[in-house]
Chains A and B, each alone.
Chain A
Amino acid sequence: MARARSRTRRETVVETRNLSMRFGGVTANDDVNFRLEAGELRCLIGPNGAGKSTFFKCLTGQLKPTEGVVTIRGVDMTGADPHQVAQLGVGVKTQVPNVFDGLSVRENIWLAARRAHGAERAERLTAETLERVRLGDIRARAVGALAHGQRQWVELGMVMAAEPWLVLLDEPAAGMTDEETVFTAELIREINRTASLIVVEHDMNFIRAIAGRVTVFHRGAILMEGPMDEVSADPTVRDVYLGHKH
């Protein structure tokens, strides 16, 4: 029976059931039921304060949900620490670039590769990743001295070097020029070949570029889910974004 179902329905990699997150009197997430299938590239969109980032942090272990359950590949990860989530093989990129400023580009990537792999494999992965994110020429530079877009790529490179099967990205294209955004979208599609992805994003054009299904957040809950074209044509979603009634 299990086999019959897997033919129609792919494996669930991330699931939340009745997830709520409250800060004092403020409800940031309210009863969110979310499911991500293996191989999917899902974008989370919604206006400011819709609860996307809070939801994201509940998945990565940076926040402990007030209520509800988070499971990753069937394992209950509710209230787990970020390093425990990462050790499952989950790659995370945060909204503000979190990099090792005082260390070189190469070492940043190496630290990501070395966590899960032996010394030789880590060296090879580091070299490969530096090429993939096109930072080979500045591998010896300190990351703190790089431009914003390059720092974002260093962080993406760190995510890729660990060879994750699930990747969570919070606004990967924030603050990038158009050209940089195009390359970032390319990288994300490349990651999607081997990993399932959840991407929190504001930029509608960027979401169109990486395609995939979209989940719309509004006032801490899921408003609707579907392909990008369908979602962007929906009158309720337009209301939410433009903030006025017909």
Chain B
Amino acid sequence: MGAETGAGRLWPLGALAVAFMALAPQVLQLFTIINLTTAIALALLGLSLGLIWGYGGILCFGQTVFFGLGAYAYAVAAQNFGDTSTAVLVAIAVGAAFAALLGYFMFFGRVSDVYLGAITLTVTLVFFSLIRRTSGPEYKIGDALLGGFNGTSAPPLTLPWDSAAILFPNQLFYVAMSALTLSYFGCVWLTRSRFGRVCAAVRENETRAELLGYDARLYKLGLFTIGGGLAGLAGVLMANGVGRVTPDLFGLPYAAQAIIWVIVGGRGTLIGPILGAFGIFYLNSWLGSQQLVNLNVVLGLVLIVFVLLLPQGLAPTAMDLAARAMRGRGRARRRRRPRRALAAEPAE
């Protein structure tokens, strides 16, 4: 597992994230920054799936259900309360709570992996169809009309202490980038904790974990719930990046793409799904502007290429190559060194 090995090597990644966060608004155009916020939201969705699939072995084909619910919960709560900070907490709580509910029935019902994928996909598609049919004035929660196919508006984030101070796109970008960075390091910490190690054990062999005295169902439920909360937060960022929440958030395209991000980026790592999401997002927008080939054809091709040629995904393959290059350089240096100097060297 790639991310488990590099214990002390994370700080450059953190420094890179902070530098990117500080510099991007200075260098890039406003349109690009707004686009980036959306990409970050999707990357966080990818991270949430990378956590539960890569570390818990839970193949959730409908991670978008928590994403969409988070986005809708944020929009509805923000329209009703006017205070967006509470709305963010509500969105995370709704994502986590629904994951806990769904997970309870799946894990305690001992649903097998394949059915788990089918059930979660069905649930997200059910929400997609359901929300699409809420266009009448009778479908409202408090003051918020759900708006059916057109969705409902998502009020932009404000300062927590001043609900009149609406955040500018640049500031939204800071919020999104901070949320992604903190979530990533939170996930790294989690996967290295006792809880995370037991989740990995359950992924490897559920029978053995239970014979050691760990209740596998509880650990899976815990991880799944955390993943749901993260996806809910991703929904908040998405709602802010786009300005509206629509039933599309629950739809098959996002649900399938999330799986592709994890496969392309590398399952079993946490940085992989983030890079995968960014990569596919920009491939999408580039292809959209070119109008050359159908988007889905390219996505399908990308998936086939990765499954066949780079089944580990980008991040683990890159780490392997880097490790090999380091070893190769070490060998070359030893060869060049005069022989008598070798005796003085401590054994490696």
Q: Which of A60, A86, A99, A100 has the most CB of B within 10 A?
A: A100
A103, CB-defined interface residue at 8 Å: yes
Contacts of A87 in B (CB 8 A): 213
Q: Chain B interface: which size bin? A: 10 to 19
Scoring B residues 88 to 99 as 1 if CB is less than 8 Å from chain A, else 0, what string do you get?
Answer: 000000000000
Q: Are B205 and A86 in contact, CB atoms less than 8 angstroms apart?
A: no
A101 to B203, CA, bound (A): 10
Q: Are A115 and B205 in contact, CB atoms less than 8 angstroms apart?
A: no
Q: Are B194 and A114 in contact, CB atoms less than 8 angstroms apart?
A: yes
List which B176-203 residues lie within 8 A (CB) of chain A: 194, 197-198, 200-201, 203
Q: Are B201 and A100 in contact, CB atoms less than 8 angstroms apart?
A: yes
Complex: chain B residue closest to A116, CB-CB: B213
Q: Are A86 and B204 in contact, CB atoms less than 8 angstroms apart?
A: no
Complex: chain A residue closest to B211, CB-CB: A92
Q: Are B213 and A86 in contact, CB atoms less than 8 angstroms apart?
A: yes
Q: Are A102 and B1 in contact, CB atoms less than 8 angstroms apart?
A: yes
Complex: chain A residue closest to B1, CB-CB: A102
Given known pairs A98-B207, A107-B197, the reply for A162 and B1 (CB within 8 Å) is no
Contacts of B194 in A (CB 8 A): 114, 119
Contacts of B215 in A (CB 8 A): 81, 83
Q: Is the interface of A mostly helix, strand, loop or mixed?
A: helix
Scoring A residues 100 to 118 as 1 if CB is less than 8 Å from chain B, else 0, what string do you get?
Answer: 1111000100111011100
Q: Is the interface of B mostly helix, strand, loop or mixed?
A: helix
Complex: chain A residue closest to B207, CB-CB: A98
Contacts of A81 in B (CB 8 A): 210, 215
B174, CB-defined interface residue at 8 Å: no
A216 to B208, CA, bound (A): 28
A94, CB-defined interface residue at 8 Å: yes
Given known pairs A103-B200, A107-B197, A111-B197, the reply for A86 and B212 (CB within 8 Å) is yes
B306, CB-defined interface residue at 8 Å: no
Scoring B residues 192 to 234 as 1 if CB is less than 8 Å from chain A, else 0, what string do you get?
Answer: 0010011011011101111111111000000000000000000
**Least Cβ–Cβ distance between A169 and chain B, in angstroms:** 12
A86 to B209, CA, bound (A): 10
A127 to B147, CA, bound (A): 61
Q: Are A111 and B207 in contact, CB atoms less than 8 angstroms apart?
A: no
Complex: chain B residue closest to A162, CB-CB: B212
Contacts of A155 in B (CB 8 A): 208
Q: Are B211 and A60 in contact, CB atoms less than 8 angstroms apart?
A: yes
A81 to B215, CA, bound (A): 9
Q: Are A82 and B210 in contact, CB atoms less than 8 angstroms apart?
A: yes
A125, CB-defined interface residue at 8 Å: no
Complex: chain B residue closest to A143, CB-CB: B204
A103 to B198, CA, bound (A): 11
A81 to B211, CA, bound (A): 9
A158, CB-defined interface residue at 8 Å: yes
**Least Cβ–Cβ distance between A20 and chain B, in angstroms:** 24
A159 to B212, CA, bound (A): 8
Q: Are B201 and A162 in contact, CB atoms less than 8 angstroms apart?
A: no
Q: Are A82 and B211 in contact, CB atoms less than 8 angstroms apart?
A: yes
A82 to B209, CA, bound (A): 9
Contacts of A98 in B (CB 8 A): 205, 207-208, 211
**Least Cβ–Cβ distance between B108 and chain A, in angstroms:** 11
A119 to B194, CA, bound (A): 9
A58 to B214, CA, bound (A): 19
**Least Cβ–Cβ distance between A144 and chain B, in angstroms:** 9
Q: Are A111 and B213 in contact, CB atoms less than 8 angstroms apart?
A: no
Given known pairs A98-B207, A98-B211, A114-B194, the reply for A83 and B216 (CB within 8 Å) is yes
Contacts of B210 in A (CB 8 A): 81-83, 86
A62 to B1, CA, bound (A): 30
A180 to B206, CA, bound (A): 27
| Residues on B facing A (Cβ under 8 Å) | 1, 194, 197-198, 200-201, 203-205, 207-216
A-B residue pairs in contact (CB < 8 Å), sample of 18: A81-B210, A82-B211, A83-B210, A83-B211, A83-B213, A86-B210, A98-B207, A101-B205, A102-B203, A107-B197, A110-B197, A111-B198, A112-B212, A114-B194, A115-B213, A119-B194, A158-B212, A162-B213
Known: A86-B210, A100-B204; 4 extra A-B contacts, CB below 8 A, are A83-B210, A94-B211, A110-B197, A115-B213
